[in-house]
Amino acid sequence: MEQFSEFVGNHLILFSLLAAVSVALVLNIWAGISAPGKSVTPPSLIQLINHESAAVLDIRDREAFERGHIMDAVHIPVRTLQENLVQLERYKQGGLVVVCQAGNLAAQATGILAKSGFTDLYRLQGGISAWQSENLPLTRE
């Protein structure tokens, strides 16, 4: 135990950084677990689209959306989501899958949607990055 205290004292900056990263990691995991909606994998998303007529909401910025998105995705950047909820009214009771770049912002967006009365919400686990890693198609149309 004495060696641990000495180590921490000698490497205070590194130990502080380790503690900060650990806290950030725990908070990020907790935010994903407590976020409204269910987390789905890319293959599960395909099933939702094909068999349950789920809609896809892409919340990335315009440039990222134009580089490639899931076919027929509705595009509303997360920073303007609250002001544009009226565009999503027809999806309020049906399945709505929120997609971002890596899966982190989708939790924030599902929180906004849940507070606005959306009930059947999903988040694409890993976002478009996971979609692409599964070699699934993106469109630019």
**Nearest residue to 97 via CA among 128, 130, 57, 68:** 57
Report yes or no: 91 and 55 within 8 Å, Cβ to Cβ: yes
Q: State yes or no: is 93 an active-site residue.
A: no
Which residue in the list 100, 105, 124, 130 is annotated as catalytic? 100
DSSP conformation class of 61: -
Distances (CA, A) of 103 to 64, 86, 89, 93, 130: 14, 24, 23, 22, 9
- Block residue for tokens 């995991």: 29
In terms of Cβ atoms closer than 10 Å to its own Cβ (0-12, 13-18, 19+), residue 9 is exposed
User: Active-site residues: which are they?
Assistant: 100
